[in-house]
């Protein structure tokens, strides 16, 4: 009997331990889920690394083959000078000749040389008219060197221009859609010179935040240190983190950066309201709050209507015909527009609902937000574009 009792007790104890372990597993899985749910942004999407950057290129060239829609040489003398210089390089002398071609247009070419762009690889270029050309459709860019900020040639461009817009018209009118004087040439330039950068020889690496923030910089540094198991990352300022290269990654920066890019961190940004007055667009971040404040919005409209009446005397009573003025005045003070009270620490949804309940338009909402900021009730940065 005693042995049976001990066996039952052991079984109950094991079930209790199993239940506790199951509860711990559920709690731990929920904790991991919450951690992953808050870690919403990869470091790859938040920062840029020292030396991994684009370089802007620019060039000046000629587009030929236009159907009479190019530059008029009288209004664009630089186009004529460019044609003369180009033909002389090809062994054709035209100095002193009366040129009247409208199939050529002078253009500016812009491009971005990607980080670690190699010899022979191709990049896209953008074409923009420099003179008074009407349309660049059907044109071909002839060989044009693209220069960097140091004046060196890093790429050479050539190819058929792709234009999205068009222009058409006659003597009585015309229509233009898009911009027919600007276009692109996909893979229109070939890289002829590389930007030297000894990436693997770095002993420290600077990481730059695209949106500077103290808290986010701290989160990134902590995440790197915890994941790599070493105190190698330290924030220098809200936009810069210094990373000391561990010995195990010396000469192998590719592996280090590819690992760091996949780490996820919590992003913390300042509360901000961005307003574009030209288009009436308003963007409000999620952390915007409003202190307790009362808001009223309404329009006072006064309408005056003149309806003069003619006074016609009786045929046998005598008197003159006269015009009797009659004026009707109506005043609309914005019926239904009441004073709204926003409680302390109103969140974004409450703020939007409160403003919408007043029936305000986006233009009026811009004025209200500016007034809230002036009163000190809007706890956010107000940026007007």
The pLDDT tens digits of the residues spanning 189-201 come to 999 998 887 777 7
For 220-250, give one letter per residue: b (16+ CB within 10 A) or e.
Answer: bbebbeeebeeebbebeeebbbbbebeeebe
241/138 same-domain check: no
Q: Does residue 75 sit in helix, strand or coil?
A: coil
Q: Does residue 93 sit in helix, strand or coil?
A: coil
Q: In this model, does residue 165 exceed pLDDT 60?
A: yes
Residue 200's Cβ-side half-sphere holds a number of Cα atoms within 13 Å equal to 7
- The dihedral of CA 63, 76, 111, 165: what is its sign? negative
186/202 same-domain check: no
Count of domains observed in the chain: 3
179/300 same-domain check: no
> pLDDT band for position 173 (50/70/90)?
low
Phi, psi of 98 (to 5 degrees): -90, 95
Angle separating helix axes 214-228 and 253-262, nearest 10 degrees: 120
Asked if residues 192 and 143 have their Cβ atoms less than 8 Å apart, the reply is: no
257/153 same-domain check: no
Q: Which domain holds residue 294?
A: 273-384
Q: Specify if 324 maps to a domain.
A: yes
68/92 same-domain check: yes
The CA distances from residue 153 to 18, 79, 144, in Å, are: 72, 22, 10
Task: Please provide the average confidence, as pLDDT, over all residues in the chain.
Answer: 77
159/103 same-domain check: yes
> What is the rounded distance in angstroms from the CA atom of residue 198 to the CA atom of residue 202?
7
pLDDT of amino acid 20: 44
Q: Specify if 23 maps to a domain.
A: no
Q: Specify if 38 maps to a domain.
A: no
Which of 225, 241, 265 delimits the end of a domain? 265
Bridge partners (DSSP) of residue 177 are 166
Q: Specify if 76 maps to a domain.
A: yes
212/98 same-domain check: no
Q: Which two tokens stand for residue 289?
A: 């709050």
The pLDDT tens digits of the residues spanning 303-350 come to 545 566 666 666 555 566 666 666 565 545 555 555 555 555 566 666
89/183 same-domain check: yes
Which of 265, 287, 319 delimits the end of a domain? 265
Q: Specify if 328 maps to a domain.
A: yes
Q: Specify if 137 maps to a domain.
A: yes
240/215 same-domain check: yes
Q: Specify if 36 maps to a domain.
A: no
pLDDT of amino acid 30: 45
Burial of 155 (0-12, 13-18, 19+ CB in 10 A): buried
Q: Specify if 26 maps to a domain.
A: no
pLDDT of amino acid 307: 63
112/225 same-domain check: no
The pLDDT tens digits of the residues spanning 339-362 come to 555 555 566 666 667 667 666 677
Q: What is the pTM of this model?
A: 0.62
226/335 same-domain check: no
What is the dihedral angle through the alpha carbons of 209, 213, 218, 219, rounded to the nearest 10 degrees? -80
In the sheet with 204-209, reading across from the earlier edge strand, the strands are 47-49, 204-209, 240-244, 233-237
Which of 265, 295, 319 delimits the end of a domain? 265
Q: In this model, does residue 280 exceed pLDDT 80?
A: no
DSSP string, 146-180: EE-TTS-EEEEEEEE-B---EEEE-SS-EEEES-T
> What is the rounded distance in angstroms from the CA atom of residue 204 to the CA atom of residue 50?
10
Residues sharing a CB contact under 8 Å with residue 263, sequence separation 6 or more, in sequence order: 42, 43, 220, 223, 224, 227
> pLDDT band for position 38 (50/70/90)?
very low
Q: Does residue 326 sit in helix, strand or coil?
A: coil
Mean pLDDT of 99-118: 89
Residue 286's Cβ-side half-sphere holds a number of Cα atoms within 13 Å equal to 3
211/186 same-domain check: no
Asked if residues 148 and 55 have their Cβ atoms less than 8 Å apart, the reply is: yes
């Amino acid at each position: 009997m005693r042995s049976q009792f001990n066996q039952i007790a052991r079984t109950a104890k094991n079930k209790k331990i199993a239940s506790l372990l199951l509860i711990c597993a559920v709690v731990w899985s929920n904790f991991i889920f919450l951690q992953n749910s808050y870690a919403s942004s990869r470091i790859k999407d938040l920062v840029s690394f020292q030396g991994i950057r684009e370089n802007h290129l620019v060039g000046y060239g000629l587009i030929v083959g236009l159907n009479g829609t190019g530059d008029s040489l009288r209004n664009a003398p630089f186009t004529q000078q460019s044609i003369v210089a180009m033909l002389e390089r090809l062994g054709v002398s035209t100095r002193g000749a009366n040129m009247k071609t409208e199939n050529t247009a002078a253009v500016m070419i812009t491009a971005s040389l990607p980080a670690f762009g190699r010899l022979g690889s191709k990049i896209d270029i953008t074409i923009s008219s420099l003179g008074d050309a009407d349309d660049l459709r059907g044109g071909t860019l002839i060989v044009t060197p693209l220069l960097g900020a140091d004046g060196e040639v890093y790429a050479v461009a050539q190819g058929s221009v792709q234009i999205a817009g068009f222009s058409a018209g006659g003597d009585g009118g015309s229509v233009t859609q898009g911009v027919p004087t600007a276009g692109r040439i996909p893979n229109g330039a070939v890289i002829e010179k590389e930007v030297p950068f000894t990436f693997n020889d770095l002993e420290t690496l600077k990481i730059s935040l695209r949106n500077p923030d103290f808290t986010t910089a701290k989160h990134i540094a902590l995440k790197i240190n915890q994941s790599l198991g070493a105190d190698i990352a330290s924030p220098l300022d809200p936009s810069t983190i210094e990373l000391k290269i561990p010995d195990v990654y010396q000469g192998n920066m590719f592996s280090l950066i590819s690992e760091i890019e996949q780490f996820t961190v919590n992003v913390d940004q300042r509360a901000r309201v961005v307003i574009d007055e030209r288009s009436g667009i308003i963007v409000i971040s999620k952390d915007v709050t409003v202190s307790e404040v009362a808001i009223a919005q309404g329009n006072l409209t006064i309408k005056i209507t003149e309806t003069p009446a003619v006074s016609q005397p009786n045929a046998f009573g005598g008197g003159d015909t006269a015009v009797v003025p009659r004026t009707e005045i109506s005043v609309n003070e914005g019926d239904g527009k009441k004073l709204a009270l926003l409680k302390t620490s109103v969140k974004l949804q409450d703020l939007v609902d409160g403003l919408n309940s007043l029936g305000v338009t986006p233009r009026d909402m811009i004025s209200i937000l500016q007034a809230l900021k002036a009163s000190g009730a809007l706890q956010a940065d107000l940026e007007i574009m």
